[in-house]
A = this chain, B = another copy of it.
């Protein structure tokens, strides 16, 4: 079970880093800059969560996350021409990672003694602030707030987590259901082009 979770974590990190590196390459960042954008995309959400929780940022406790981001950079450099064909694969990894990141954010926050609503916010931050910081770094308006259902999928997962807890569902199943619900919402939103409506301006 631990191994399965770790595998999802690493797949998600890889997919998040790939998305950062690809967007940075479109903006002509150099290799190292693209790597930094990749790392920030992959670990940015969890880092903001850990700073808010006053915990040591998770990626400072073992080098895996920086190493995986480095592999993502090599991957983009080596397979640049074939990346578009793999968009579906990356999307799947990204959605798996998102589900896991949200659940990790929620359970870590609860373990620090915060109430459920803080945990849902932290789960959402864990899942979406990496992509938000990526878009700030490449000087674009954050995609996570404008395209398909992304941040809201994290909130949905948090609500599923809450309902499971209320129904006294076993902890491992609670986490599994919450992660899967994030994954499913993402897949449905992208497949059927479902978006949160844009907020109308005041013309």
Binding site for B on A (CB under 8 A): 21-22, 24-34, 36-37, 47, 51-52, 54, 56-57, 60, 63, 66, 76-77, 80-81, 83-84, 114, 117-118, 121, 132, 136-142, 144-146, 151-152, 155, 195-202
Contact = CB atoms under 8 A, between A and B. Distances in A.
B200 A25 contact: yes
B36 A202 contact: no
17 contacts: A24-B199, A28-B146, A28-B198, A30-B197, A30-B198, A31-B197, A31-B198, A31-B199, A33-B146, A36-B145, A51-B52, A60-B121, A80-B200, A80-B202, A81-B202, A83-B202, A137-B142
A31 B51 CA distance: 27
Given A145-B29, A146-B29, A199-B29, A36 B83 contact: no
Contact of A199 (B25, B132, B140): B25
A57 B66 contact: no
Given A83-B202, A114-B60, A141 B27 contact: yes
Contact of A141 (B57, B60, B138, B195): B138
A151 B81 contact: no
A22 B202 contact: yes
Contacts of A32: 145, 151-152, 155, 196
A63 B119 CA distance: 12
Given A34-B145, A77-B199, 4 more contacts: A28-B198, A29-B145, A66-B117, A136-B139
Q: Which 8 A-B pairs have the closest CB atoms?
A: A33-B145, A30-B196, A25-B199, A34-B199, A28-B198, A139-B141, A26-B201, A32-B152
A125 to B, nearest CB: 10
A27 B21 CA distance: 25
A195 B84 CA distance: 28
A54 B54 CA distance: 8
